[in-house]
Structure 1
Amino acid sequence: MNTQERLDFTRIAEAITYIRQNFKRQPGLEQIAEKVGLSPSHFQRLFTNWAAVSPKKFLQYTTIEYAKKMLKEGKASLFDTAHETGLSGTGRLHDLFISIEGMTPGEYKNGGENLSINYSFAGTLFGKIIVAATPKGLCYMAFADDEQEAFDALRLMFPKAAYQQQADEMQKKALSFFSRDWNEHDPIKCHLKGTDFQLKVWDTLLKIPMGQLTTYGDIAALIDNPKASRAVGSAVGDNPVSVLIPCHRVIRSSGELGGYHWGLTRKTAIIGWEAARMECAE
């Protein structure tokens, strides 16, 4: 690391410390930039390059993590939580939760208490799978080598939701991935919980054509964050709708397959199956 890089790192570390210590005051870009002795535009570029998110987004993440802690403890109302985190009211708290968590603060606080989720297990060419849906759309799809472990992982997302083990039309539509004619595209509505960055990565995964592969670096470039390959990898790994959101189509720039939560043998098989289907369709 050269002298300039050390100086830049020191400034970013100082900015992060300042944001974490003062997030309740919701400091603006100009205020944070002044603290580290840079112009707002220069600081914006530098921080984004180093942290892979903008200063505003980092402030939002810091704020919402504190809000989530308060709501989990159950000791504060939504109004008190908004006030304590430096937000002007419950409206801003609501907007922040929708943007970062994909749900309202009330839904987060209640752990999905008023949410109804149908789930079922089904056999596929690549092993048993669990698929679940809310009234808003598909919320979970994963390989289920152990049914209890698979259900427990689903329940962690919405611990207080009401679960019914029954198949519905949303689940059937999702499972048709393994049998339908891919010349006939039938959109599937999803109900996903994730940060803005995760949702952006997952949306990019959906644009990878069947039978083709891409790299973590390519995805980072597509979302205009070329230095965020590692963060992209984490977001790909957190994908809640396996296969349908095709995280298996992402490999390392070296050509190696990289990781896969359900094993490289399964990843290789899915990639080969898709390539064969596309070849037959030509």
Structure 2
Amino acid sequence: MMQPIAIDDDAAWQAVKERDRRFDGRFVTGVLTTGIYCRPSCAARHPKRENVRFFHDGAAARGAGLRPCKRCLPDNVAPDEDAVAAAVKRLDAGPATLEELAKLTGYSPTHFQRVFKRAMGVSPAAYARARRSARATQSLEQEGKVTDAIYDAGYDAPSRFYADAQRLGMTPSAWKKGGAGVTIRYAVVDSALGPMLVAATDKGICRLSFDEDEAALSKRFPNAKIVADDGTIADWVEGAVQAVEAPLAMPDLPLDVAGTAFQEAVWQELKKIPPGETRSYADIAAAVGKPDAVRAAGSANGANNVAVLIPCHRVVRSDGSLGGYAYGLERKRTLLDKESGKRTLL
């Protein structure tokens, strides 16, 4: 089993909340009230933060008087999981080819590609691109020369970086730090679904929600500069209204959202669902290569920051019932009826 990495409590808790499999085998989560320790990805209900303590491994947790969870079996990290964890650690450190990762883990390239995508929801190449983009963004914040930062991040040419940069938007670190260093413009407008908040950075829309105001936006991005829009994002706001009013003619709007690799894989699948159609949570889990992660797919669905534009309302339960929706089932039903050509009053 690979040795666990050092990790601060805030990062560990975030991994637990997201049930991020990348951290399985790197630390365990001890729940002091139950006397149990779990993997970060354990599907059990999350404990209260004040009852949690993090340990480097099961031995440390047992030394503190805790016992392993019988549901997630934190001491039984399977070879595939260990291989994926090793590959993630390697990719987090710098670029690597599929052949290099396969040699590192003792798998054939083709088989490791399947193992990695099943565990992470994206291919090693897609994960590597995301990490390379993150490294470039970090380097750009620190380096004096743009070219040096680009090559230091692992790009073989500036053109490759600029191609990736078209989809970077707010950096993952900025998202995690509450929008630190970012200016977010917002507007609250009337829509067929009620008051709708549209907020955007210079890169694209970062929040679309209902029944929210500036205070709610500031709570979500406490370290960002929040300003009322002066017309700068008027075209995007108009496009967002059109997405609600006429979903069959939804414009292609730029988005600035960030999540875990698994969340982003789920969101990409949501965007593939045609208007007028629905998918089950199980369908989405299978589509990202993790058919057993139905609950995690539901959590990723609920973590969507841009309602309608990433159409999480098109996901329903396997029995055809609506399931949940952050803005109420009536809104979800109205959106689905609009897309299917039905007329429904909210």
Contact map agreement 1:129 1:142 (CA 8 A) in 2: yes
2:123 is equivalent to residue 54 of structure 1:
yes
Alignment partner, residue 174 of structure 1: 240
For the residues of structure 2 that align with 1:9 and 1:177, how far apart are their CA atoms?
45
Q: Are the counterparts in 2 of residues 237 and 247 from structure 1 also a CA contact under 8 Å? A: yes
Q: Which has the higher contact order (CA 8 A, sep 6+)?
A: 1
Is 1:82 the equivalent of 2:145? no
| Structure 1 unpaired stretches of 5+ | none
Question: 1:40 aligned to 2:106?
Answer: no
Classify the secondary structure of the residue corresponding to 2:166.
helix
Q: What is the count of residue pairs matched by the alignment?
A: 259
Shift in Å at residue 142 of structure 1? Answer: 1.1
Partner residue in 2 for 1:20:
89
The within-5 A match list for 1:1-282 is 9-21=78-90, 23-72=92-141, 74-75=142-143, 77-99=145-167, 101-102=168-169, 119-124=186-191, 126-132=193-199, 140-150=207-217, 153=220, 159=224, 164-166=229-231, 168-176=234-242, 185-194=248-257, 197=265, 200-205=268-273, 207-209=274-276, 213-222=278-287, 226=291, 229=294, 232-253=297-318, 257-262=322-327, 266=328, 268-274=329-335, 278-280=341-343
CA drift at 1:194 = 4.2
Instruction: State the identity as a percent.
Output: 27
Shift in CA distance, 85/234, structure 1 to aligned 2, threshold 3 Å: farther
* CA pair 178-48 structure 1, distance change in 2 beyond 3 A: closer
In the TM superposition, what whole-angstrom CA distance separates every residue of 1:28-66 from its partner, at most 9, and x where no partner exists?
111111122221111111222222221222333333344
Instruction: State the Cα distance separating 1:154 from its structure 2 match.
Output: 6.9
Any unmatched runs of 5+ in structure 2? Answer: 1-69, 259-263
Quote how far apart the aligned CAs of 1:130 are: 0.9
Q: Aligned partners of 1:70 and 1:208: how far apart in 2?
A: 40
Amino acid at match of 1:249: R
SS at match of 2:330: helix
Provide the C-alpha distance between the structure 1 equivalents of 2:265 and 2:119, rounded to a whole number of angstroms: 16
1:128 maps to amino acid? P
The structure with the greater share of residues assigned to helix is 1
SS in 1 for 2:198: strand
Per the alignment, in what secondary structure is the counterpart of residue 61 of structure 1?
A: helix
Q: Could you tell me how far apart the structure 2 residues matched to 1:135 and 1:93 are?
A: 19
Does the 8 A contact of 1:52 with 1:227 survive in 2?
no
TM-score scaled by structure 2? 0.57
Q: CA deviation at 1:174?
A: 2.9
CA distance in 1, matches of 2:91, 2:193: 50
- TM-score, normalisation: structure 1: 0.67
Is this contact kept in 1: 2:267–2:304, CA < 8 A? no
